[in-house]
Amino acid sequence: MVKVSRKAWLGGVWLSLLPLIATAQITDPLHLESGLLAGISGSDPAVRVYRGVPYAAPPVDALRWHAPQTPPSWEGVREADTFGPGCMQNIAGSRPPWTEEFMHQGSVSEDCLYLNVWTTAKNANEKRPVLVYIHGGGFSEGSGSVAVYDGEALAKKGVVVVIINYRLGVIGFLAHPEMTAGSSDHASGNFGLLDQVAALQWIQQNIAAFGGDPNNVTIAGQSAGAMAVYLLTAAPPAKDLFHRAIVQSGPGGLASFGLSSTHALARPLSEAEAGGAEFAEAKGASSLQELRAMSVDELTAGPAAGGGPLRFGPVIDGYFLPDSVPAIYAQGTQHDVPMLMGFNADEPSAFPGYGKAMVESFRETARESYGESAEAFLALYPAATDAEAGHAQKTSQRDLAAVAIEQLAAERAQTAKADLYLYYFERGIPWPERPEFGAFHTAEVPYFFNTLDMLDRPWESLDRRLADTMSSYWVHFATDGNPNGAELPEWPAYDGQDVRFMRLGERVAPDAMANRATRDFFEGYLAE
């Protein structure tokens, strides 16, 4: 996989004999812990891109279901001009509203622990802020090579962008009693999360070569990536590896999907081990050794591979996660870093029937969901017609997500001192053929990455302005933990009293999301 030219190798040997001084111009090859690395120009020649850079050893053969190991060194100059394969997953290609630009395209492999870097730094001593993005996909799909994750526009605004792969599905999150017993940490199940820690450790050791500051690292993620970010803020192995966190459509924000609590972030180890034993039995394996002997295709074939009835995800394993996330925050033992958190207006719009509820079905769902409190719910969200029922369905789900995030913010504030900023993204991607999706789950990603041109949509000037504004907010936050800048509308920090979300849409301004009555109702519901 490593492409090395003799000319580049000889040049690298000569360069390695020169003294390394902090003011040296950043020119290829870069000197990393593992060897010399050469990148390529972005679409803007001011941007250097390094694709498919290994941050850990290939987790194959004996390293399957083990913590990631140090990446092997290479001789000569490694040409980082091609994305590495995605981690093992079922390739969907497209699943509207997630068109090809939002999904992994290309090959997959167990040998997948690669990352990609975008930088416009001129000197190795520039110490630019580093933004590390962790992709979503339900811990079962996605990769760092997804089109809308292109880091060039953010790099041009002054940050060094790093986007990583991590193990997924059964390969990344299988727990098993034998695996736990044989582990020096007495843990199993969080290999994909340990990959993320390994990537952050690699950044500490190597990012200065790209002009980045290892003491100014922001982790960001959306959906499962946001869950991972929040877990990392509670994980002892991630201590001192990052300094800010961005949580997009993660804990709290997914309340409209029925994931209304941070308790849904991870399962107890015993439950995960039981699921792993069930998986092994379904595969006809009577031991962990037999599971390890199976090909990756055998392991991921059928509905039990990530995305089927038996899903794999984070575990309260006693090592990466010593307790539930709410308990860790209540104890005040989390990594107290500035945080930016929010959700989208139409998170569940991919579900059939979203916003199209009939009066009777809306009332029936209310009775199923809220039981004895159903009449109180229906008084807050009255619907005499089908059109009103569809609107009430959308509004109530948005209010539930907003209150869940406010509750999460209040719980965090009990022990956290670092600032928190909340947002509400409400701009529906222009899509005349599919207007029903609105501001769907993941719709904010091409705006904050400022990658609208990766999508063939009838963009308006409003979209261009919003993408420029959001990318600037994210870059400012990654720079100093505060999204505000002189050219931007003022974004207030959470204060626990006058709770306001930054509306990101046709209007960019702080606003309250729930009135007192809806807040009281959903706080009671969430408490139950």
Which one is catalytic: 101, 110, 152, 347?
A: 347
Select from 366, 334, 482 the least CA-distant residue to 420.
482
Instruction: Report how far residue 73's alpha carbon sits from residue 51's, in angstroms, rounded to the nearest whole number.
Output: 17
Which one is catalytic: 145, 223, 471, 472?
A: 223
Angle CA 114–137–235, to nearest 5: 70
Which one is catalytic: 176, 243, 335, 441?
A: 441
Helix (H) or strand (E) holding 527: helix 516-527
Helix (H) or strand (E) holding 299: helix 296-300
Residue 346's contacts (CB-CB under 8 Å, 6 or more residues apart) are: 354, 355, 394, 428, 437, 438, 439, 440, 441, 443
Phi/psi of residue 520, nearest 5 degrees: -60, -40
Length of the chain: 528
Q: Is-contact 118 328, C-beta < 8 A?
A: no
Instruction: Report how far residue 71's alpha carbon sits from residue 58's, in angstroms, rounded to the nearest whole number.
Output: 8
End-to-end CA distance of the chain: 53
Angle CA 312–396–376, to nearest 5: 115
Q: Is-contact 171 87, C-beta < 8 A?
A: yes
Cis bond upstream, residue 29 (ω within 30): yes
Q: Is 441 a catalytic residue?
A: yes
Q: Is-contact 149 222, C-beta < 8 A?
A: no
Select from 310, 307, 320, 317 the least CA-distant residue to 88.
307
Q: Which DSSP category does 85 fall into?
A: P
Q: At what angle do helices 191-206 and 224-232 cross, to 10 degrees?
A: 70
Q: Is 16 a catalytic residue?
A: no
How many helices (DSSP H) and strands (DSSP E) are in the chain?
16, 16
Tokens matching residue 347: 């998170």
Residue 82's Cβ-side half-sphere holds a number of Cα atoms within 13 Å equal to 10
Cis bond upstream, residue 510 (ω within 30): no
Q: Is 43 a catalytic residue?
A: no
Q: Is-contact 331 240, C-beta < 8 A?
A: no
Residue 222's contacts (CB-CB under 8 Å, 6 or more residues apart) are: 135, 136, 248, 249, 250, 442, 444, 445
- Report the 10 Å Cβ neighbour count for 360: 11
Instruction: Give catalytic residue positions.
Output: 223, 347, 441
